[in-house]
Amino acid sequence: MLHLFRPSLVDILPEVRGKYQKNVPLSKHTWFGVGGPAEVMYHPLDADDLSHFIRNKPYNLPMCIIGGGSNLLVRDGGIPGVVIKLDSPAFRKISIQDNLITCGAGVKNTELKKIMLDNKLGGLEFLCSIPGVIGGSVKTNAGCFGSEIKDVIEKASIINDAGEIKEIGVSDLLLSYRSSHFPDDWIILSLTLRTHPSTEEEIRKKLDEQKAYRSKNQPYNAKTAGSTFKNPEGLKAWELIKKSGCCNLSVGGAKVSDIHCNFLINTGNATAQDIETLGETIIQRVKQSTSITLEWEIKRLGIQK
């Protein structure tokens, strides 16, 4: 009997200076702690390595990028193709010139705290309180406490689908509430953010106030991905969820948070299907009750098992 050899995906990918890993459990790369494997995960060594990969990869290769996984639900069947993660030192550099801070895409938002305090630069306190990495803040125009990433971006360095590295202004990102028209085939390499002179005391005060608010009003140290649904214009998603009687809903190991009903929690043994089904159930009930259709704020990737 003739057996045909079927090469693994790694065998047909271009040689890179970074690292390929096969069948990586994405549950270890998301805050929900659920999801199937990445067929291949690629960790580029630097921007030139990523450019080489994009220019030489197989045509129509399924490809996506993940950041800190704080706003991500990966389905139980995992993600086919290549998942890119910019976590090498080249993507974690920070530089300061005047009142501008340039951060690599892999810099954690929380790392900005020390930079701001050491250099007495304010204006990014809101960003420090958002879980995740800098590169992931653009696609959803991340924001809280009355500020959004679009308010502080000066420019961005990106790589496009042709492997070309370009610098673009904030107007080209077309950022709006929790969304953007940022092309799916562009990858953020770094962001340059505007700050303003401040005092260590004032910066620390804002950071402490925001941390205290989140600790009191949002689930803390829980397996969650933050706000599940966008606020409809002029309304609050949590109020619609509460009004529709969804506060005590659960599916398998997934449940609505007791502290904030726009947060879904993995109680420990949830599957991605549990979480997504719970979210879709809430959407359905809110629509039946209020005629308003909630939109997912959490990004969902991958295939069903």
CB of 296 closer than 8 Å to CB of 282:
no
The catalytic residue among 137, 227, 276, 285 is 227
Taken in order 163, 164, 165, 167, the sign of the CA dihedral is negative
Find the catalytic residue in 178, 194, 204, 214. 178
Burial class (CB in 10 A: 0-12, 13-18, 19+), 95: exposed
Q: Are 297 and 230 in contact (CB under 8 A)?
A: yes
Q: Is 233 helix (H, G, I), strand (E, B) or coil?
A: coil
- Residue 240 contacts residue 294 (beta carbons within 8 Å): yes
Residue 250 among the catalytic residues? no
Q: Is 297 a catalytic residue?
A: yes
Tell me the DSSP string of 68-132.
SSTTEEE-TT-EEEEEEE--SGGGS-EEEETTEEEEETT-BGGGHHHHHHHHTEES-HHHHTS-S
CA distance 195 to 121: 6
DSSP class of 227: B
Q: Please, are residues 210 and 124 in contact by the beta-carbon 8 Å criterion?
A: no
Distances from the Cα of 124 to the Cαs of 11, 42, 77, 111, 173, in angstroms? 43, 30, 37, 11, 19
Alpha-carbon Rg for the chain in angstroms: 20
Does 227 participate in catalysis according to the annotation? yes
Q: How far apart are CA 83 and CA 161, in angstroms?
A: 15
Catalytically annotated residues:
178, 227, 297
